[in-house]
């Protein structure tokens, strides 16, 4: 299974945001929505072997399971609406005990540390970072858990946590990519088994 963890630093943890302003009033929720789309969507189908976690302001984590997802569409507004509907059920999430408000979508009241720790038990954690080793010189595992940040850099605390759980730090090219673009490139590397150095 392929996994992606995207850390959102400014995203609201309540559903009180407008779907018409995901790039502003919703703390760059648009970035996270594009990441979810990039993680799952192929042309006319969804990747069933993918798990994607979105960490919201170090307070909540939404887990998307490709094998269970239903009714999600490849546009930002649809994904933002699903996230908003999920947050409407936040009172039912107690610690790591998840609530399941829609098929393939789970919400827990945990932040970055617990999410990374749980992911490290499920696969091989890889930090995608501009200072990492070129992907062409790295052997990607069969159970990768790619960790990305939103439009902001990883915080000092997140960097420390990643240094403890990540086995690799990989860069996908010579230039910085948007998080959703990095997900697409990571999929391409795994799909083609072409670990070509960019």
What residue numbers does the annotated binding site for S-adenosyl-L-methionine cover?
128
Is domain 1-198 classified as CATH 3.40.50.720?
Answer: no
Q: In this prediction, what percent of the chain has a pLDDT beyond 90?
A: 77
Residue 198: pLDDT above 60? no
Please give the Cα distance from 159 to 150 (Å, whole number). Answer: 14
Helix 112-122 crosses helix 156-165 at what angle (to 10 degrees)?
20
Per the confidence metrics, is the pTM higher than 0.85? yes
Q: Which H or E run contains 110? A: none
What residue numbers does the annotated binding site cover?
128
Question: pLDDT tens across 30-44, in order?
Answer: 999 999 999 999 998
Q: Which H or E run contains 112? A: helix 112-122
> Residue ranges per domain, the chain?
1-198
Residue 74: pLDDT above 80? yes
Please give the Cα distance from 44 to 33 (Å, whole number). Answer: 18
Does the CA dihedral 167-172-175-176 come out positive or negative? negative
């Amino acid at each position: 299974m392929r996994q992606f963890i995207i850390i959102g630093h400014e995203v609201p943890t309540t559903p009180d945001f407008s779907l018409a302003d995901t790039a502003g009033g919703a703390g760059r929720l648009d970035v996270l929505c594009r990441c979810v789309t990039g993680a799952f969507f192929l042309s006319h189908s969804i990747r069933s072997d993918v798990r994607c976690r979105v960490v919201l302001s170090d307070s909540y984590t939404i887990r998307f399971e490709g094998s269970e997802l239903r009714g999600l569409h490849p546009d930002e507004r649809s994904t933002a609406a699903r996230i908003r509907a999920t947050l409407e059920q936040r009172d039912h999430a107690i610690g790591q005990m998840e609530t399941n408000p829609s098929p393939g979508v789970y919400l827990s009241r945990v932040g970055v540390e617990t999410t990374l720790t749980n992911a490290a038990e499920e696969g091989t954690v890889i930090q995608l970072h501009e200072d990492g080793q070129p992907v062409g010189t790295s052997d990607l595992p069969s159970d990768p858990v790619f960790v990305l940040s939103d439009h902001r850099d990883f915080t000092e605390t997140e960097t420390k946590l990643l240094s403890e759980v990540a086995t690799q730090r990989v860069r996908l090219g010579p230039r910085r990519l948007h998080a959703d673009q990095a997900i697409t490139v990571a999929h391409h590397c795994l799909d083609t088994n072409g670990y070509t150095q960019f």
